[in-house]
Amino acid sequence: MYIKRLALAALLLGQLTAAHAQDEMWDKSASGRQHPNIQWFKEAKFGLFIHWGLYSKLGGVWNNKRYYGSGEWLMNQAKIPAATYAAEAANFNPVNFNAEAWAALAKDAGIRYMVITAKHHEGFAMYDSKVSDFNIVKASPYKKDPMKALANATRKQGIQFGFYYSQFLDWHEPNGGGNRWDFDESKKDYQRYYREKSIPQLKELMTQYGPLGIVWFDMPGGLTKQQTQQLVDSLRILQPNSLFSSRVGQGLGDYRDFGDSEVPPAPINEVWESIYTHNDSWGYIEHDMNFKSPREIIRLLANVASKGGNLMLNVGPDGKGNIPYYSEQYLKATGRWLAQNGESIYATSYGFIPAQPWGVTTAKPGKLYLHVLVRPQDGKLLLPNCKVAVTKVYTLIGKKPVAFSTAGADVIVQAPPMEAQSANTVLVLEYKGATPAYDAAAPVTISAQVPVNTIEAIHASTSDSARVKSLTYSHYFGDWKHAVCVTNMQGPADSASFKVRITEAADFKVILEYACGTESARQEGELQVNGKPYLFRTLRSSEFDKSNPLMFIQHAVAITTVSKPGVYTIVVRPLQQGKELFKLKSIRLEPVR
Ligand code: JFZ
């Protein structure tokens, strides 16, 4: 049967190259279909991404110059000639690579699936490829196939194993995508690249390394929708149980990948994954020590799970095959948290209670997990409009009963004392009856019991030409950041209004968090709290340019007195017609103590 599959695949693959090359922006056409094997992925919640290649040996340094941002893009950033770069393989010898140790670390970290770069844009295959000699067995003194060892070790730990493959960008090849410094783009034959390297290598990976949980394609290009469909059809024959990432292109992936380091601002009813670097680079950079702490990882994981997605966190091993110290230590720390709290993450869906000042929620049938990230001063965790019959509430660790009460449609949980430095304390609320729907239009809760309340732009109702948009920018290079902002507010008719539920009478300092370029600066704006106007004049922070930091300013514009609890409307708009007022990221309300 397997041989037949190969023959059929070869036939299909052969047909693939008939049509014309056409670069199509990937545009998911949600077809509602789900891969029959998707369930393990939906339950996995936490994956390990590994970027490991010839770039790892260079560590972000070329000709004694240090580069910052994506270390795996060094060849492109430094415009290294393909032949010069290829010669580096002769010094790539990861003698410290230990597949069993990597797999054991993934297990200790609570990782459920692993995806490693088999070939990145540099074109160097990290496995024993017969298609191209530019690989770790033929071109380096290491002469072994680390992917074979890692695939076996990973599966032995019960962890799904998969490959990342850059199916179009290949700076080593005259017909591959992306190398404009060595090769004339107008003379490239993408179809030839697909026919001679990309597709044959994908076949090698899908026939010689056992059952793959995931094939993580990256940067679709050069193929039409029909060709991509044929490629997907042919590869599925080789790996019918494997899930394909959405970056295969043309909406043909089995789950949705967001942009690098991007989390959707609210739950979405799709199967999706958020990918994050551990420091600021996917590939190893010796001078990038900006690692996310265990607290940041644990809270990021809770935030992603509370929106219904998976987090795949990346590590970038160095050229000797060592995983960076902080990656190892902080993955283990995350694993220790998951060992005690994993029930609130694995196999959960997003919680039906939206993010609150105290934290976020995940869920299983009849259970709501409260991830307490900020303990309110009075310990009261408000669950607004929580229309369920609560039977009990308890601490996840130790199962200690926790007091709760109801007030109308609200449930108030009395949080027990918590370790001040706890990254995330989980309480469990059990209930009878149907699970309510998530209310995306619920007012944002504002509490005087926490140091700061943040109203994100995603909650804005906009008028006229105002728009809520996700803005992408970077600090170094390729270290993408995303901010959802209210944009294009150019006159009084372009407003952003927010419905908030303020739970106590208090004075609040109002802080607008926005980015404002030179043209927008020094324009007057108006903030209204239930119609009471407060004026301000915009301050310059930075222009918006995706290749540079988008600098947000936190501009305190007013103190407002809230005389009684209730639902309020906060409106922000330009006072006069002019340039875009600013890109509003959030409104922060700090109770005046
Ligand atoms: C790509 C690669 O270029 C990068 O080196 C790394 O491997 C990353 C995981 O994937 O970078 C991308 C690709 C697509 C988007 C962002 C970064 N995107 O669609 O937003």
Question: What secondary structure does DSSP assign to 80-94, as a single string?
Answer: --HHHHHHGGGG---
Are both 282 and 385 inside the same structural domain? no
In a domain, 90, yes or no: yes
Distance, in Å, from the CA atom of 63 to the CA atom of 59, rounded to the nearest integer, reads 12
Q: How far is the CA of 590 from the centre of ligand 1 (A)?
A: 37
Residue 531 pLDDT level (bands cut at 50, 70, 90): very high
In a domain, 445, yes or no: no
- Among residues 308, 312, 310, the alpha carbon closest in space to that of 349 is found at 308
Residue 420 pLDDT level (bands cut at 50, 70, 90): confident
Choose the weakest-confidence range: 206-220, 222-236, 378-392, 483-497: 222-236
Ligand 1: residues whose CB is within 6 Å? 70, 72-73, 218-219, 259-260, 275, 282, 478, 480
Are both 177 and 322 inside the same structural domain? yes
Are both 76 and 165 inside the same structural domain? yes
Are both 359 and 339 inside the same structural domain? no
pLDDT value, residue 32? 60
Which range of residues forms the domain containing residue 464? 453-591
Higher pLDDT, 404 or 19: 404
Are both 25 and 142 inside the same structural domain? yes
In a domain, 265, yes or no: yes
Residue 17 pLDDT level (bands cut at 50, 70, 90): very low
Number of domains in the chain: 3
Are both 511 and 401 inside the same structural domain? no
In a domain, 545, yes or no: yes
In a domain, 2, yes or no: no
Are both 338 and 434 inside the same structural domain? no
Report the nearest-CA residue for atom 6 of ligand 1: 282
Q: What is the DSSP letter of 156?
A: H
Asked if 348 and 307 touch (Cβ cutoff 8 Å), the reply is no
pLDDT value, residue 33? 77
Asked if 361 and 368 touch (Cβ cutoff 8 Å), the reply is yes
pLDDT value, residue 12? 45
Domain boundary among 405, 439, 473: 439
In a domain, 487, yes or no: yes
pLDDT value, residue 261? 85
Q: Which atom of ligand 1 is nearest to the CA of 257?
A: 19
pLDDT at residue 381 above 50? yes
Are both 458 and 536 inside the same structural domain? yes
Are both 545 and 566 inside the same structural domain? yes
Are both 408 and 294 inside the same structural domain? no
pLDDT at residue 3 above 70? no
Q: Which atom of ligand 1 is nearest to the CA of 262?
A: 20
CATH code of the domain containing 434: 2.60.40.1180
Query: For 98-106, what is the mean pLDDT?
Result: 98
pLDDT above 70 as % of the chain: 95
Distance, in Å, from the CA atom of 374 to the CA atom of 516, rounded to the nearest integer, reads 30
In tens, the pLDDT along 484-509 reads 999 999 999 999 999 999 999 999 99
Q: How far is the CA of 252 from the centre of ligand 1 (A)?
A: 18
Are both 208 and 123 inside the same structural domain? yes
CATH code of the domain containing 508: 2.60.120.260
Report the nearest-CA residue for atom 18 of ligand 1: 259
Q: How far is the CA of 219 from the centre of ligand 1 (A)?
A: 7
Residue 517 pLDDT level (bands cut at 50, 70, 90): very high
pLDDT at residue 157 above 70? yes
Strand (E) or helix (H) holding 150:
helix 146-156
Residue 105 pLDDT level (bands cut at 50, 70, 90): very high
Domain boundary among 391, 409, 439: 439
In a domain, 45, yes or no: yes
Q: Which atom of ligand 1 is nearest to the CA of 73?
A: 5
Are both 18 and 43 inside the same structural domain? yes
Domain boundary among 311, 343, 375: 343
Report the nearest-CA residue for atom 19 of ligand 1: 259
CATH code of the domain containing 193: 3.20.20.80
